[in-house]
Amino acid sequence: MTEIYETQPERTDLPLVVMPAVLDAMVEPIKAQFPALENIARVRMFEEFTSDETVIAERTQGGDALLVGGYHISDDLLRTLGEQHIRCIVFCGTGVASYINLDLARELNIRICNAEHYGDNSVAEHTFALMLELARCAGSLDTNVKAGGWAWKGGDGLQLAGRKLGIIGLGGIGVTVATIARAFGMKVSAWSSHVPAEHFERSGATPVADLNELIADSDIVSVHLPLSSATAGIITADHLEHLKPGTLFINTARSEVIEKGALLARLQRGDIHAALDVFDHEPLTAEDPICHVPGIVLTPHVGWRTDGAFKELTRQMIACLVAFYHGEHYNTVIAER
């Protein structure tokens, strides 16, 4: 039987916040934030993860705000939530456009909130974990040694110091990646639109106005664009043609910022290496063609998942609710009318 955690259950005069599904790693961090809702709203959290929309709809009945983490909300479920008088949905992440139809939420007059910059360090660190795996193959070497091997036939490692890193998107994560890269002794350039000049100054990255030029001149390309209507598909097949043989390509942002099918087609030519944490369809299956690209490194969209990120993420999620019930705004993506 699913355990249900409730705060202030006797305060039926207060509005109800429902968290119908929760990732195991979020349970304790978000419980630590619930006191901020004392005398503002009560919470009902189901301590089990599910993406079953029928179950989610059943569990949200009676609530007027929803905490969401780790699953998509289809248009049908969103309409059901609107019929149940859910007025605010708070996501445990930044790129909510990947998880919900924002235009429909606006039409249904539901406030949508997210969390910002909670995972800048976590995702940047994971980017370097992937980069180092491509460069030094520590995971494969570990497997080889444990199997009794010693001589490594996979080729020598790549030294990062002195190599050119091209960053696509210089927001909070991109700036953090650039800072780490400079500590490694790398030469850092970046292409990014609509970010303050201060981002380039703070990161030490050299601005490059043309994306093709950035890609062609880089030994390593790392993607850090947020997903929006403006960035969807912004990296095209033509851009990827400018990757020179031997380039390392890393994406810990969103797969949708790359033209659909373009990256797989480029990787299947076998002259570049890639490490990816995000995909067109999640979770991947073993039959997915991306899993069969030689030398590729794949992780299951975990770049953001660290203890520090969960702490800041859950703080922001509850801050969104406090602002909502006070008639204020905090990390509002879609405002109700």
The residue from 72, 282, 292, 329 that is catalytic is 282
pLDDT for residue 160: 98
Q: Check residue 255 and report its DSSP letter.
A: G
- CA-nearest of 94, 58, 53 to 72 is 53
* Confidence grade of residue 234 (pLDDT, cut at 50, 70, 90): very high
Domain 120-298 has CATH 1.10.150.130: no
Per-residue pLDDT at 151 exceeds 90: no
Q: How confident is the model over 137-148, as a mean pLDDT?
A: 94
Q: Is there a catalytic annotation at residue 254?
A: yes
Give the relative orientation of helices 138-146 and 120-136 as an angle to the nearest 10 degrees: 60
Q: What is the pLDDT of residues 32-74, one digit of tens each?
A: 999 999 999 999 999 999 999 999 999 999 999 999 998 999 9
pLDDT for residue 251: 98
User: What is the pTM assigned to this prediction?
Assistant: 0.88
Per-residue pLDDT at 152 exceeds 90: no
Q: Is there a catalytic annotation at residue 301?
A: yes
Q: For CATH 3.40.50.720, list the domain ranges present in the chain.
A: 4-118+307-334, 120-298
The residue from 111, 254, 266, 273 that is catalytic is 254
CA distance 175 to 154: 32
pLDDT for residue 202: 94
* Confidence grade of residue 267 (pLDDT, cut at 50, 70, 90): very high
Give the relative orientation of helices 120-136 and 172-183 as an angle to the nearest 10 degrees: 50
The residue from 126, 266, 301, 312 that is catalytic is 301
Q: Is there a catalytic annotation at residue 282?
A: yes
Q: Which two tokens stand for residue 222?
A: 């790392």
313 - beta bridge partners?
A: none
* Confidence grade of residue 227 (pLDDT, cut at 50, 70, 90): confident
> Are 45 and 30 a contacting pair, CB within 8 Å?
yes
pLDDT for residue 228: 84
pLDDT for residue 95: 83
* Confidence grade of residue 1 (pLDDT, cut at 50, 70, 90): confident
Q: What is the pLDDT of residues 168-226, one digit of tens each?
A: 999 999 999 999 999 999 999 999 988 889 999 999 999 999 999 999 999 999 999 99
Q: What is the CATH number of domain 4-118+307-334?
A: 3.40.50.720
> Are 243 and 263 a contacting pair, CB within 8 Å?
no
